[in-house]
Amino acid sequence: MALNPAAVRRDLPYLRRRVKAPVPAPTPAPAPAPASAEPPAAPTSSVPSGGLSLARPSGGGTGLDLGARSSPAPQSAGARPAAPRASGAPGGTPRSTPAAPRGRPARPELPGPFPAPAIGDVRELGTEEPVLRLNARESAIGSLIVSGTSAVAWETTDLIAGAAYADGGTEGTSVSTTGNRALVGYDGPDAIVSLRHLHRLRRALFIGAASGVIGVQLFDGSSFTVSTPNGSPLFVLSLLRVGNLIEFRAEPVTREATPAQLHREFGFSMTPHLTAREPRRR
C-alpha cells in the first residue's frame, strides 16, 4: 500500500519547506540584470527525479518504488498547478499577471488546534487553567527559560530521550544543537530549551522543586507560573510541540513520586547513552 500519495504534506506546516529539484545548468551568456533588456530564459521543465518515490506504482503494485519516476514531479518549476490568487483586486495589481493560471497549490482548509489561552491570557497554570499555547514566534525565538525545577526530561522527534537534574546529574542521552548548546538542559539553576531547534523536540517534562513554583519565561520577557500550594496535588509542566506551536499543560501528580517514576508515568523511556570512541586500529 502506498504510504502517502501526496507530494507534499501541506497540512503539516513545519514540513512544508520546499526542497527544490536540481536546477539544470544555466543557459550560456545571461546578461547582467541592471544592464539587460533581455527577458530571462524561460523556466525549464523539471527533470524527473531518480529518488525514492512513495507514490503508488502505476502498475498497481504495493511496494515502494525505488526506481526512477515514470512521470515528472507534480510540482515542477514553471509548471505549478493553479491556485487562487492572493488578496487584492486584479485591477489594482501593479504588475501585469500572466495569462495562464499559476500559483501554488491551494492550501487545504484544515481545522486549527482547539482554542487555548495565550501566554498573556493566563498568569498561572493549575487546576482552573491547565493549558496554554504559544504562537509560532513565541515558540521559536531564543531560549525558553524554566526556573524552579528539579528535573527536566526530553524526547526528540527521532525518539532520543534523556533527563537532566538541577543537581548536575543526567540520564539517557543528551542532544546537542548546531549552536553547540544542549537542545534541553540546565544552565545554572534554570532549565533551558533551545527554541531555534524546536523542530527537533517532540516533548519535554519539567518537574518542580519541592519548594513549589515553576516559572516560565520567553524571549520577550512574558512569563507564567505553575503553582503548587500546600495541600494541592503537585503539578509538573508538560511541553508538547504541536506542529510549529508549543503547548504547555500543568499535570497533577502525587507529591511522593520520584522523578524517575514520573518519567515512566509520562512515557519517557531513556535512550541508553553510547560514548563515542575512536575506532580500533590494528
Q: CA–CA separation, 260 vs 163, rounded Å? A: 9
What is the dihedral sign for C-alpha 11, 14, 16, 21?
A: negative
Minimum distance of other proteins from residue 272's CB (angstroms): 26
Q: Which of 210, 251, 221, 242 lies closest to 125 in space, CA to CA?
A: 251
- Interaction between residue 253 and other proteins (CB under 8 A): no
Minimum distance of other proteins from residue 110's CB (angstroms): 13
Q: Which of 206, 226, 225, 201 lies closest to 149 in space, CA to CA?
A: 206
Please report the DSSP string for 79-134 in residue order: BPPP-PPPSS-GGG-SSPPPSS--SPPPPP----PPP---TTT-SEESSS--EEE-
Within 171-230, the residues that bind other proteins by CB under 8 A are 177-181, 187, 192, 194-196, 198-199, 219-220
- Interaction between residue 28 and other proteins (CB under 8 A): no
Within 70-99, the residues that bind other proteins by CB under 8 A are 77-78, 83, 85-89, 92-95, 97-98
Binding segment for other proteins (CB under 8 A), chosen from 22-30, 154-162, 254-262, 266-274, is 22-30
Q: Which residues bind other proteins (CB under 8 A)?
A: 13-14, 16-20, 23-24, 26-27, 30, 32-41, 43-44, 77-78, 83, 85-89, 92-95, 97-98, 102-104, 107, 135-137, 139-143, 145, 177-181, 187, 192, 194-196, 198-199, 219-220, 244
